[in-house]
Amino acid sequence: MRLRRQKAFLVLVLAIVACTEPSEPASISAQFILTDVDGRTLPAGSPPSVGSSGPTVISGTMSLDLAGNAVTAEDRIESDGTRVTITTHYTYIIKDGEITFSYAVPCAPNAICPPPPTGQILDNGLRVQLVFPPGYAFQVYNYRVSATL
C-alpha cells in the first residue's frame, strides 16, 4: 500500500513538472524526509572538531511548494548537548533535474553568509540530494519522498 501511494505521488509530481512551461521556473509540491547525512544513517554525528564532539543530526524534513518556496528543518543535538531545530527558508527553481536554492530573505549587506545548497532530483523524483558548500558541519543530505502531503 505504501509503495502504491509513493508511485501515485511520483506520477503526480512528474505530471506537474511536465506541464510546466519551459520558460517558467519549474516547481513542485512535495514533502521529503531526511534519510542520511554524509552517507551516515540517522542519527548521524559530525566529525569532532579540535577537542570536542560535533553536532548530531537526529531527523529532518524538506518541503517544496508550487510557488517556488522551500523549507528545510533539521533536529539536532549540538556538541554541548542542547537539542535544537534549525529551520531555513529558501526559494527554488528546478531545471533539468537540478534544484537551485536562494535564501528567502537575502543576506544583510556586509554580512558574510554561506552560500545556499544545491540540489539534485534522483530516482525519478523519489529522492532528492542537497549538497552544502564547505564550511557547514555536514555537506550531503539525502531525502526520500514522503507518502503524505
Choice among 23-32, 114-123, 138-147 with the minimum mean pLDDT: 23-32
Q: Which residue has the higher pLDDT, 17 or 29?
A: 29
Residue type, 147: A
Give the model's pLDDT for residue 62. Answer: 98
Rama region for 68: left / alpha / beta (φ>0; ψ in -120 to 50; rest): left
Give the model's pLDDT for residue 10. Answer: 47
Residue 16 has pLDDT above 50, yes or no: no
Q: Which residue has the higher pLDDT, 116 or 47?
A: 116
Tell me, which fold does domain 2-145 have in CATH?
Answer: Lipocalin (2.40.128)
Q: Which residue has the higher pLDDT, 26 or 114?
A: 114
Q: Which residue has the higher pLDDT, 36 or 5?
A: 36
Give the model's pLDDT for residue 135. Answer: 82
Q: Give the model's confidence band at 12: pLDDT under 50 very low, under 70 low, under 90 confident, else very high.
A: very low
How far apart are alpha carbons 21 and 68 in whole angstroms?
14
Query: φ and ψ at 76, to 5 degrees?
Result: -145, 160
Q: Please give the biggest Cα pair distance in the chain.
A: 53
pLDDT in tens, 37-78: 999 999 999 876 656 678 999 999 999 999 999 999 999 999
Q: pTM for the complete prediction?
A: 0.79
Give the model's pLDDT for residue 149. Answer: 54
DSSP state of 48: P
Q: Which residue has the cell 564550511?
A: 135
